[in-house]
Amino acid sequence: MDGGSRRFEVKKFRQEFEDLCEVELTSEDAHLSEICGEELPKEMVDYLARSITGYVLDKEDDVAVVINGRVTRFTTRHVGGWGLVTPRTVVKVNLVKEKQKSDASKIRGFDRVGGLAGTIGEIVSCVEGPLCDPEKYAEFGVSPPRGVLLYGPPGTGKSLLASAVAEELEAAGTAIHVELVKSTELTTKGEAAVHSLFARCRDSGLASLIFIDEVDAVCPDREGRGSSSGTEAERRMVASLLTEMDGAGLTSQ
């Protein structure tokens, strides 16, 4: 004890989880029923199952899946705590009629975010501007940034900002391919998942927006300092991610 302060050792702990045997997805979004009708074909259910494979889900989590270029949100429900969605997990899908929403629930885009005007301005200039008005950048010979890192402690609105960007672009009528990726999807499959992610964007033929949630779990310290430096496979995955982000084989969008 020094100067009236006390020091405490905080020990790290790890909570174990099991593979989920069954997950139920529920959506009120009319977009899916407009495409498939009231009863989803097996191919669509299989696609949704593949889209959430690798997610670690708690009860009543929200997940987002891109269907026909549009982000469709689902609420998850499953039995027995939380765990990992694997290819063996049984996935069921329910479509329910959209409930009457209050005025507050109709707020979309950056209107949902409060107190981050400076950050929103930076995101607009780095993301929304280049995608909605690329001619302006080409006119002045300026290359827009290829990525934006949102950092900060939990609960500061990073994921909210990411989803707000997608909603703003959708409201502006921008033709865009959106990919929302959990870090677990990349860490479980390594380099192949990284290349597949960017290949989907190239194949879409559209400007692409990729959200990687909890990217720090994907990128260990590459300087080789202690256990945080990661395995050789993890370092190769980081190198692949950085190469793809730098634009090897990609268009300016």
pLDDT band for position 69 (cuts 50, 70, 90):
confident
Distance CA 146, CA 227 (A): 30
Q: Which of 65-69, 81-85, 98-102 has the lowest mean pLDDT?
A: 98-102
Q: Does 10 have pLDDT greater than 50?
A: no
- The CATH number given to 22-100 is 3.10.330.10
**CATH T-level topology, domain 112-248:** Rossmann fold (3.40.50)
Tokens representing residue 56 in the block = 């670690």
For 172-208, write each residue's pLDDT tens digit.
Answer: 666 667 777 777 777 777 778 888 888 888 887 777 7
Q: Which of 56-60, 155-159, 165-169, 171-175 has the lowest mean pLDDT?
A: 171-175
pLDDT of residue 14: 44
Spacing of C-alpha 210 from chain mean position: 7
Query: Where exactly are the structural domains of the chain?
Result: 22-100, 112-248
For 19-49, write each residue's pLDDT tens digit.
Answer: 667 888 888 777 777 777 777 888 888 888 8
For 115-139, write each residue's pLDDT tens digit.
Answer: 788 888 888 888 877 777 778 888 8
**Using CB atoms within 10 A of its CB, is residue 84 exposed (0-12), middle (13-18) or buried (19+)?**
middle
Give the pairing of strands 207-213 and 83-84: unpaired
